[in-house]
Chain A
Amino acid sequence: MARMVPGASNLRTCVFLALRELSFARGRFSLMGVVIALIAVLMVLLSGLSAGLVNDGVSGLKALPSSTSFAFDAGTKQDNAFSRSVVDEAQLAAWRDQPEVAEASPMGVSIVNAVTDAGDQVDLTLFGVEPGSFLAPEGSALDDPGGIVVSGTAANLDLGTVVTLDRIDTELEVVGFTDAQATFGHVDIAYLPLATWQLIAAGEAPGGSPTTEQVAAVDVDEFSVIGLKGVPGSALAAGDAEALAAGDAVAETTTMSLEESFNASPGYQAETLTLSMIQWFLYAIGALVVGAFFTVWTIQRSHELAVLRAMGASARYLLRDGLTQAAILLIVFTAVGVGVGVGLGALMPEGMPFALEAPAIAVASALTIVLGVLGAAVAVLRITRIEPISALGGAR
C-alpha cells in the first residue's frame, strides 16, 4: 500500500493541527494576514518618519558624545531654550570649577535666513563654537573668522559658496562639511567660530566678510548655552540629576542631559509625541483586529473544538493550538509587511525626513507581534468554556 499521504508527521504535535488549519483556511487567514502586513508597513513608515524627524530636529546634537549635558540660563523656558537662553563668562567659569566637569565649552545658537551667491535662499542654524572644543565639528578647521562648516546634507551649498545673511549683509564662506547630517530644528547647521557668532549676535557685524581685527575687537562675553563634558565614569557624565543640580546652584543655570536637551529644540516634543501616539494607536488597532478575527474563528470552529475535547484533547492543547496559529500568522505577515515597508522607504522622495533604523523597526515588529498574540490570547480563552458534551447530539 502506497504511503501517498501528504503532510509532515515529523512536526511537533501542537503544530500538527495548527499548520493544517492555517493551510486549510488559507483564504481567511491570508485576508487577515494582509491586514497585519499593511499595519506592519504603516508601522515601518511611521518609524522611519519618526526617526527622520528626530534626525532633522536634533542630528547636530545627537552626534555629540552621550556624556554631554547643556547648561541653560536659569529660568529659560524649555521650548526653544537653545536660542532663547543667554549665559555669560562668569557662569561658564563656575561650571569649569566643578570637579566632575572635564570640559565646559560655550556655544552660541541662532537661526538666520541667508542668500547664497547663486541667489538661493537658505535657512541656517548658526552654531558658534570655540574651534577645537568638543562641540566643534570633527576634522574641519574653523580658523577663518568668515568661514562656516555646514551640514553634509545641506542643499545649494558647495565648498566656496558665499552666503549673505539677511538684513546685516554679513558674508560667510563655506569652508567645509560635516561627515553626517547636522541639522537643528529642521534647519541645516552652520558651524562658525564663537567670536564671529558673538559679533553677529551683538549686532556689531559690518557688511562683508568679518575680518580678524573686527572679531578681536568684539567686547561681548555672552553666548547661548554651555556644553558640558563630564569626567568619564562620573555621575555628571551619566547625566545624574543631583550632580547637575549641584553645578546649577553655583552657576545659576538649568542643566539638561543630552537626551533631555532634545526637548529644548524647536518642535521636537510635539513631533515625537504626535508620532508615538499614532504608533500606539496602530499597535492597539492591530491587537484588536487580531483579537476580533480570532474571536470569530474560534466561534466558527467551536463544534470542532468540542469534538476534540470529547476525544480527549485538553483545553491547554487547544489553547496552544490557537495561539500557535496566531503567532505563525503574526510573525509571517509582520515580516512581509516590514519587508514591503523597508522597500517603500527606499523610494521615499529626497528631502522627506525619513530614516530607517534597525533597532527601532525590530522593537516595533516585536511589539506588533506580542500585542497581536495578546489580542488573540484573549479571544481563544473562550476555548476553555467549550463543553465537550456539546459534541454529542445533532449538529452540522
Chain B
Amino acid sequence: MPAIVSLSNVAKDYPLGKTVVRALRGVSLAIEKGEFVAIAGPSGSGKTTLLNLIGCVDVPSSGEVTIDGRSTSALHDRELTNLRLHSLGFIFQTFNLVAVLNLYQNVEFPLLLKGHHTAAERKKKVEAMIDKVGLTPQIGQRPNELSGGQRQRVAIARALVTEPKIVLADEPTANLDSVTGQNIIDLMKALNDTLTTTFIFSTHDQRVISHARRVIRLVDGVVEDGAAQARGAGG
C-alpha cells in the first residue's frame, strides 16, 4: 500500500536569539492509509513539530514532506491551505472551537469552507457526524456550555466531517481526565475502523500509546531506532 504520509530526511530548526534550536534532525518515515499511529516521546522531543510539518501548518528547514502524494515544499500558502482543507483534519490539545459558534456551526464550518455541498447535504453530514460522536442532544449548545470531553468530541466531529484522508491529533487527551481520555481514544479507534481514515496523534501518555497500532518514538528530534516501531498491542 502506498504511503499517504512520507518524510524524507526532514529537519526543522528554530532560531532562538543567537542560537538555533534543532527540533527535528533528519526524520524519515512513512505512514500508510488507514493507520492509527501514535507519535510518542518526552516533552521537547519534537512530537508537535513533526505533527505541524505533516499537517502543513509549518514547513521543514530541509528534507521533504509528502502528503497524499504531494510534496509540500513547492506549495504556496493558498495550495497548502487547500491541502489542509481537503486532505487533513485537526484535533487540538485545547480543542480550539470557535467560541461564538454553537456545536452544529463549529462542525459545519469546514464544510462551508469547502463549499461543495448544498445546505441539505451539509445538514445531513453534520448531524450524522454529531450523532457519531454522541452529541446530538447538545447540538445547539455553545462550546462554553460543554464539558472538556464533549468539546473534544466536537473537535473530532469537525475534523472528520469533511472526510479527510488524514486526521492529526496533538495530545488529544492531555486536557481530559483518564476516563474521558479513554473514551476519546476509543471513539477515534472506532472511527478509524469504520471510516478507514488515517489517524496520527502525538502523546506522551503511556495508556494512550498502548492503544496505538503503531508508535513512532521521538527522542531529541530523531526517530528512535531510526525507523518506525510497530506495536501490536492495539491491533
Answer whether A and B are interacting partners.
no
- B: which residues have CB within 8 A of A? none
- A: which residues have CB within 8 A of B? none
